[in-house]
Amino acid sequence: MRSTPPDPGDQAVRLGPAGRQAAGPPARAGLAQSSRILIVEDEPALLRALQINLRARGYDVATARAGRKALTEAVRRPPDAILLDLGLPDLDGTEVIREFRSWSAAPVIVLSGRASSSDKIGALDAGADDYVTKPFNMEELLARLRAALRRDEGAGPIAAVILGRWTIDRAARTVTRRDDQAGPAPAGRAAPAGPAAPAQTPHLTPTEWRLLEVLLQHPGQLVSASRLVAKLWGPQPERSTHYLRFHMASLRRKLEDDPARPRHLLTEPGMGYRYQR
């Protein structure tokens, strides 16, 4: 039984401010909530302008004027994305990115007056997702932010993904059999000893969807356990990794032909997990 941490993934999708819900088409599952954006900028006028523009578009905005404050705030309320000035009074912005990246996979867009390519490369190498040079056009920044959030939510153009004999529709959040001919169970699958389950379409919990989405966003790549934990529950002590193992095991039971010998949802011992087509 779960005590702490609370699991936001198991709640119904968080509702954003009423205005955001009313505007635009029905959002996809992952985007229905109001995204939380952390703005890190020591220039008061720019910070204020960003804050006003993002709030006007329904984002849940937090701000910080220095690097350490930003990291504390990010831990306290994990953001869905960070807009980060590189030139901060205490830490260098790339340090902030590195530290944030040690536990979060949320997109980071760098805002910087430094235009040299080595600064950009440094920030991108540290884990930034995008880079805007000051002075920037507010609409362009907002478009980049939307793109980063879409990529992060996995609601990109490729919504359907193949996983073994299942087609995973990430937008509709459905799992369907690839061959709808209801053929025999694939070879290698042991006859179920207990109550039969196999031919049914699996039902995934919100947490399992979230976990699966993060893995599907990085086909073939290792996703560290700490990043997955951060994605699912925010920064949490190590004990969260056992929740992660629990949910991974459950996903495998539902999606793998042989959960004991997974072919698509792989464990990299001591490091993390990998989705393999």
Name the minimum Å distance from CB 143 to Ca ion. Answer: 23
Instruction: Please identify, among the stretches 40-48, 101-109, 118-126, 205-213, the one whose residues bind Ca ion according to the rule CB under 5 A.
Output: 40-48
Distance CA 155, CA 170 (A): 7
Instruction: Find out whether 77 and 106 touch, Cβ atoms under 8 Å.
Output: no
DSSP state of 220: T
42 or 92: CB nearest Ca ion: 42
Among 42, 73, 92, 95, binds Ca ion (CB under 5 A): 42
Structure-token match 């902030």, residue found: 96
Q: Which is nearer to Ca ion, 87 or 206 (CB)?
A: 87
DSSP character string of 3-64: -SSP-GGGSPPPP--HHHHHSSSPPPGGGSSPPEEEEE-S-HHHHHHHHHHHHHTT-EEEEE
Give the nearest residue (CB) to Ca ion: 87
Stretch that binds Ca ion, among 41-49, 135-143, 166-174, 240-248 (CB under 5 A): 41-49
Least separation in angstroms between CB 73 and Ca ion? 17
Q: How many residues bind Ca ion (CB under 5 A)?
A: 3
| SS3 category, 259 | coil
Binding string, 46-65, against Ca ion, x = CB under 5 A? --------------------
69 binds Ca ion (CB under 5 A): no
Residue among 5, 9, 87, 235 that touches Ca ion (CB under 5 A): 87
CB of 142 to Ca ion, least distance (A): 20
Decide if residue 85 touches Ca ion (CB under 5 A): yes
Quick one: 112 or 226, whose CB is closer to Ca ion? 112
**Could you tell me where the beta strands, DSSP code E, fall in the chain?**
36-40, 60-64, 81-85, 108-112, 130-133, 160-163, 166-169, 174-177, 222-224, 265-268, 272-275
Is residue 208 a contact partner of residue 202, using CB atoms and an 8 Å limit? no
Query: Please, which of residues 91-120 interact with Ca ion by CB under 5 A?
Result: none
CB-wise, 31 or 91, nearer to Ca ion? 91
Beta strands in 113-190, from DSSP E residues, in sequence order: 130-133, 160-163, 166-169, 174-177
Question: Is 90 or 169 the residue whose CB approaches Ca ion more closely?
Answer: 90
Residues 163-202: x where in contact with Ca ion by CB under 5 A, - otherwise, as a string:
----------------------------------------
Rounded (5°) CA angle 28-214-212: 85
Residues that bind Ca ion in the complex, under the rule CB under 5 A:
42, 85, 87
